[in-house]
Structure 1
Amino acid sequence: MTNGKLILMLKNYIPLVIIIIFFSLTACNKNISSSYIGQGWSSNSVNAVKFRKHALTTFGNTQFVGYYNEFGYLVLGKRKLNSKTWTTHVTTFKGNVKDAHNSISLAVDGNGYLHVSWDHHNTKLRYAKSIMPLGLELGEELIMTGKQEDKVTYPEFYNLPNGNVLFFYRSGESGRGNLVINSYDVASKKWTQLQSNLIDGENIRSAYWQACVDSKGTIHVSWVWRETWDVETNHDMCYARSNDGGKTWETSKGEKYLLPITLASAEYACKIPQKSNLINQTSISFDKNSNPYIATYWNENGLTQYQIVYLEAGNWKKVNTGFRNSTFNLGGGGTKKLPISRPDIFIDNINNKTVVSILFRDEERGNKVSLAYSSLNEISNWHVTDLSKLSVGDWEPNFDIALWNNKKKLHVFMQNVLQIDGEGIANQNASSVNVLEIKHLKKIN
């Protein structure tokens, strides 16, 4: 090998070496810590399901959290960043914690008011707002718009750069539900309905989505279709985006959608057949150029693998992470007990390399909080490390997206929970609710 070729090869590998060193440091115990908040309900996974937006969120220098305690009461907490001491408030509101769909989601608007929604599975809207900015005490239960609020499932809040807040939810039942979007204006302090039916299942199917808002304010939504109540009928990965706060929508090519979006009109980022072990409601994020990255899992080459579907130079691409060694059968209804969690995804740019990271839990790794990362280039493999020492049971990841987007700090909601397949209830005592903090997971300049 000539000296010139050797130097070129080393130059190609230097960014990868830096990335490996960067992430390897986080595996050292001194760089990972946790803060204790309180005791939470753990007889199913209602506190630790993937579709919470959000379990944990930061506004300014104040971090907020929400969870159900051992008696099913909604608990809110807050702390100053870098403090280990949490202030908690047990509200007067309860949820049906025996149904793991009935999760808590929260957000803070641009004026500092906390918005909370909880306890939904084809039931009436439950929503309240804090009495004071940065406060934990909620006012009375409120309606939003009074439209399509009788059969609500999967409430999710999303913050816009202008301080306004979006509220996504499914109206209707599994297999024949529609995506509704409401918008909260911080100036008027009122909700309006932007979309009564953004994605139409045409009364024969449902869209199970994930969404994010990038630094430019573009809303990205991806989803899988489900033909019936049975999760094995999930298929395909679709995509839409909005550049005007959710009023109008387009494809990744900039072609305007005629709303509502249907099976026939949707843009397909990746075609995936039914009975592929395709999971629903996972996560989506974005890179510095506002390209969307979707994390999910389905079967490939006989194994259930985490997959990344992403947009690059106007074209959809797919990467099989390939680090798992087993498969299982994904089927049936209700909240499933599964050997792996849905993944969560976040993106960073290190030395001009787009580094994709996913948080997950896997029986193969002892059900710990785990992290996998890759720069997605031709010489890079996926590198996997564990962030927790002990098992977190049937936990699914939920991290502080606002904190990551603003400060590139990774804080993860963590609780050991046990899920019995199909909405069963485990005979298990309450467990500790914590925030896992990874100190050195930040951008390298």
Structure 2
Amino acid sequence: MLAANTLVCNKDRGVPGDSSGSPTYRYFSTTQVGTTWAGQPVGQDILVDGSRQYVGYYDGHRRLIIKSRVGTGGWTTKVLDTSVDWDSHKYITMELDINGNLHVAGNMHDSSLNYYMTSTPGNIATLARVPTLANSTLESRVTYPQFLKSASGELYFKFRYGRSGNGSEYIYRFIAPSRKWQVVASRGILDGQGNSSAYSTSPIPGPDGYFHMAWMWRDTTDVSTNHSLSYAKTKDFIHWQNVQGANLTMPMTKQSPATVDPATVGSGLVNGIVGIGFDSANRPIISYTRYDAARGNQLFLARGDASGTWYRTRITRWNGVFPVQGTGSLRFPFSVGAVKRAANGTLQLNYTCNSNTRTIVLDEKSLGVKSDAPTPSPLVGSPVLPVLRDDPQLVTNKTTTKSGKSVYILQWRSMPVNGDKPRAVIPPSEPLLILEYRAP
């Protein structure tokens, strides 16, 4: 009998699949941006626009810092007027609008808005706090800020108003000529009706011209109360449809005809471990994790079609269970990406289990597993990274972005999650690094 919190990944099944022409990136350089707070693994951000790089992070004093440089030139620094505590939800996110001005949001978890915008493109010295975007009431309790961009480059801002178990999601649209924001749907897009909240993916552009989004509902602050995996698509963030193409009334609720998997409370659904991909017929395929009939964690796929039916299948055969329960920031031993089309009528899905990255190759028609094996890394070369001290408690965190032929990795070390609770001893700062890898 395996102990609780023990999860054993699949044994190798076949050989790694075709990478479908994915490029190989070779290590090019490492740059130290500065030092960063190591108390919690809170998310930090890197944004690359041509030769200009922007980095948003919390420094050793927990202050939100924005840095910018062109090429390999010197850094320009802007210290913003907000400081993070022990809450790992309070990540930083950045985006550029169509005029090239930088927008920054961060340090929010059921908190008042922390939002900044430049008045001169490329000049972070002009970053200034924007106290209200469109609705001061909604912006008094913000969580999970996300920037979205339409196919034409229009900027949108998505966030949750309220708290876990009692919240609604809203989207704003940025009007570039006036530098003002407007609410897209006055009642929001997802409404927990006072007794739940939605945990959604960022809407992603699909090959069919729609943005696609999945979410699950949660009834309390405990992750074990996640239930009812759902899906919708949109072209304008105002009008939403289910997989059948039927229009959905806004805001979407638990009663909306958008359910993918009617998993009940206690079924092991994990918010944040959900991916959306597409097959060669542009049908959405949602990858996610939940318990199987034996109450063990497994990866599942759900594929929708124009009839409105979702076909669900289990694709792993893990042993053991890692209980899906608890409040605050939690770390699970598994994650999953989105399916991608591959060669010879197959699909590929990358996932991790116990820190091991693996690739499942699937028959596109049946979604049957053809192989499950370790994933070869597209990154070639192992840079020697500076380490201030040898501390086995520290975990490596990273944020990745692509620009042109380069992959940029923002990397740092921190203490692991601690349920968003303070530690008795605050660890010293750690180096914050940019690793660049380039394709031929």
Q: What band does the TM-score fall into relative to the shorter chain?
A: 0.7 to 0.9
**2:254 matched to which residue of 1?**
263
Aligned residues: 403
**2:157 matched to which residue of 1?**
167
Instruction: Encode CA deviations 1:330-355: one digit per residue, 9 max, x unaligned.
Output: 2222112x242654x35654446565
Q: 1:57 to 1:299 in 2, by over 3 A?
A: farther
* TM-score of the two chains, using structure 2 as the length reference: 0.78
Larger relative CO (CA 8 A, sep 6+): 1 or 2?
2
1:316 and 2:303 correspond: no
Q: Give 1:63 shift.
A: 4.0
Instruction: Encode CA deviations 1:273-300: one digit per residue, 9 max, x unaligned.
Output: 3223321134544447654444433233
8 Å CA contact 2:350, 2:360 repeated in 1: no
Q: Give 1:180 shift.
A: 0.9
Q: 1:248 to 1:218 in 2, by over 3 A?
A: same
Q: 1:379 to 1:358 in 2, by over 3 A?
A: closer
1:431 and 2:430 correspond: yes
Matches within 5 A, 1:137-286: 137-142=125-130, 143-147=132-136, 148-195=138-185, 196-214=187-205, 218-243=210-235, 245-286=236-277
Instruction: Encode CA deviations 1:220-274: one digit per residue, 9 max, x unaligned.
Output: 221111011111101121011111x211111011100011111111411223232
Counterpart residue identity of residue 316, structure 1: W
8 Å CA contact 2:29, 2:437 repeated in 1: yes
Q: 1:303 aligns with which of 279, 296, 301?
A: 296
Instruction: Encode CA deviations 1:140-161: one digit per residue, 9 max, x unaligned.
Output: 2112103411111111111112
Matches of 2:49 and 2:228 in 1, distance apart?
36
**1:122 matched to which residue of 2?**
110
Counterpart residue identity of residue 232, structure 1: S
Counterpart residue identity of residue 376, structure 1: L
1:87 and 2:75 correspond: yes
Higher fraction of strand: 2
Same amino acid, percent of matched pairs: 22
| Root-mean-square deviation over aligned CA pairs | 3.6
Q: 1:386 to 1:184 in 2, by over 3 A?
A: same
Counterpart residue identity of residue 430, structure 1: S
Matches of 2:164 and 2:56 in 1, distance apart?
26
Gaps of 5+ in 2: 1-14, 386-391
Gaps of 5+ in 1: 1-14, 49-54
Counterpart residue identity of residue 47, structure 1: G
Matches of 1:112 and 1:438 in 2, distance apart?
25
Matches within 5 A, 1:247-396: 247-287=238-278, 291-300=283-292, 301-311=294-304, 316-318=310-312, 320-322=314-316, 325-336=319-330, 338-340=331-333, 342-343=335-336, 345-346=337-338, 348-351=340-343, 355-358=347-350, 360=352, 362=353, 364-365=354-355, 371-377=357-363, 378=368, 380-385=370-375
8 Å CA contact 1:355, 1:373 repeated in 2: no
Q: 1:109 to 1:306 in 2, by over 3 A?
A: farther
Q: 1:68 aligns with which of 53, 58, 63?
A: 58
Q: Give 1:213 shift.
A: 3.1
**2:38 matched to which residue of 1?**
42
What SS does structure 2 have at the residue aligned with 1:180?
strand
Instruction: Encode CA deviations 1:150-208: one digit per residue, 9 max, x unaligned.
Output: 11111111111212111111111211100111111223322100123211111011111
8 Å CA contact 2:17, 2:359 repeated in 1: no
* TM-score of the two chains, using structure 1 as the length reference: 0.78
Q: Give 1:107 shift.
A: 1.0
8 Å CA contact 2:276, 2:339 repeated in 1: yes
